[in-house]
Amino acid sequence: MANSRIAAVDVGNDAVKANFGKLENEMYIPNVVAQDMADRPVIGIEDLDEKEAINNLHVRIHSPALEENNVVYRVGNLATKATNSTELDPGSSKSEEDQTLVMLFTSIALDAVSSGSFDEKNGLIDANYTLGTGLPIREVKEGKDVGYRSQLLGSVHQVEFLVTPKYQGKKINIKFDEVKVYPEGFAAYVNLIMDNDLKVINKELMDKEILVQDIGGLSTDIAVIRDRNVDDDKAQGFNLGVSEALEDIREEIRVKHGVELDSRRDVVDIITRKNNRHHIMVKGSRTNVHDITDHILLELAKKEYRFLKNTWAKNSQSEICYFVGGGSAVLKDYIKALNNKLDGFNIEFFEDENESIWMMANAYYKLITDFVRKNEKTEKKEAKATSTKEK
């Protein structure tokens, strides 16, 4: 795997967060796609190459892993402007959706073409990766990680950039040398106790029984960590995340104020931004939508708090629960208020919302880097043993 580049990709329901190589390249792409035509019209085509590729991703993807093959997509920010854009639906399984693979392949292809890590010949790049990624605990417990991994290994997945700045006409052949699929809750635990060099930074957490509640777009995972491992029997996965609430907020804003927001990402921005939080522009006037966001998010926070309460009741020796994931950033204030008023559990949020949102991608990076290091050590030992025998 000498020429294999590391990719740590969290295909979150809100966005893809990815780290590549030696952390010299990171990517954030909203998880939105829209099927499109191959020659999409562009205003100011001559200025295309002055735009950012990541905001104008227009690709054709060929892969045996896809149900719909050879389809043209707008991906990420470009897709949010399309009338036929799609986001993952509540109740869907991440491991079984074409959209998950479209986001995964596009982000890796963008790294391959922009990093200069691979040779290009006549517009074609053959790119080899060692991938660390993850799935919700519920899907791992159902064994879906095995099928997901096998879909990725053993095939070549091609991404062709169409009307995309700087990379128009380039084709990337992606081949995975190894794929590791981690349970999301355990990944969060790894991120809590290790730094990027895999040195232990929170020794006091290592021998505690702790809970990690990861609130995503479509699902909530509660990992029970004891003896430095996820307790598979106690770990819980629920088909509830923030996506449905974000859609409800979008719809209420549309009905009450006549404002069409492009995607759930816009709603998240309204709720979490530093300035003018819970405000939108209506006919040029700044308008407070706190009444809409409050009642919808409070109802969701009550459900998430109930998950915590029930899990803690079954794991009474737990010492702390860490809330992670993009959904935790959205619901933080509401869950804190409920906890102060009700049971007063020992809970912890990350004040740096970015840290919570990037936690999975950072954890996958640590885990896949550790795997590569151990693998290289084993290969060196075997090579040394072989050369000693030959002598």
Q: At 47, is the pLDDT very low, low, confident or very high (cuts 50, 70, 90)?
A: low
Q: At 7, is the pLDDT very low, low, confident or very high (cuts 50, 70, 90)?
A: very high
Interval 284-297: pLDDT, tens: 999 999 999 999 99
Choose among 217, 209, 212: nearest CA to 184. 212
> Residue 190: pLDDT above 90?
no
Question: What domains sit in the chain, N to C, each tagged with a CATH number?
Answer: 5-40+50-182 (3.30.420.40), 207-357 (3.30.420.40)
Q: How far apart are CA 101 and CA 319, in angstroms?
A: 37
List C-alpha distances in Å: 75 to 21, 42, 60, 150: 23, 15, 10, 24
Location of structure tokens 């605990």:
137
Location of structure tokens 């790049």:
125
Choose among 154, 129, 132: nearest CA to 65. 154
Look at strands 220-226 and 210-215 and give their pairing.
antiparallel
Q: How far apart are CA 343 and CA 316, in angstroms?
A: 13
pLDDT at 263: 81
Look at strands 57-62 and 33-35 and give their pairing.
unpaired
Choose among 110, 126, 1: nearest CA to 59. 110
pLDDT at 73: 95
Q: At 2, is the pLDDT very low, low, confident or very high (cuts 50, 70, 90)?
A: low
Cβ neighbours for 224, distance < 8 A, ≥ 6 positions apart: 209, 211, 230, 231, 234, 235, 311, 315, 318
Choose among 381, 357, 375: nearest CA to 30. 357
Q: How far apart are CA 238 and CA 307, in angstroms?
A: 9
HSE toward the beta carbon, residue 71, CA cutoff 13 A: 19
pLDDT at 390: 63
Q: Minimum mean pLDDT among 63-67, 99-103, 377-381: which range?
A: 377-381
Helix (H, G, I), strand (E, B) or coil at 68: coil
DSSP 269: H
Cβ neighbours for 257, distance < 8 A, ≥ 6 positions apart: 280, 282, 287, 289
Model's pTM, two decimal places? 0.86
Helix (H, G, I), strand (E, B) or coil at 7: strand
Interval 92-125: pLDDT, tens: 788 999 999 999 999 999 999 999 999 999 999 9
Q: How far apart are CA 355 and CA 40, in angstroms?
A: 36
pLDDT at 42: 67
Mean pLDDT computed over every residue of the chain: 88
Interval 230-285: pLDDT, tens: 787 887 888 888 989 999 999 999 999 999 988 888 898 898 888 888 999 999 99
> Residue 326: pLDDT above 70?
yes
Q: At 13, is the pLDDT very low, low, confident or very high (cuts 50, 70, 90)?
A: confident
> Residue 380: pLDDT above 90?
no
pLDDT at 183: 85
Choose among 47, 41, 44: nearest CA to 74. 41
Top-confidence range, 34-48, 192-206, 346-360:
346-360
> Residue 45: pLDDT above 80?
no
- Tell me the torsion sign for CA atoms 9, 269, 300, 322: positive
pLDDT at 282: 93
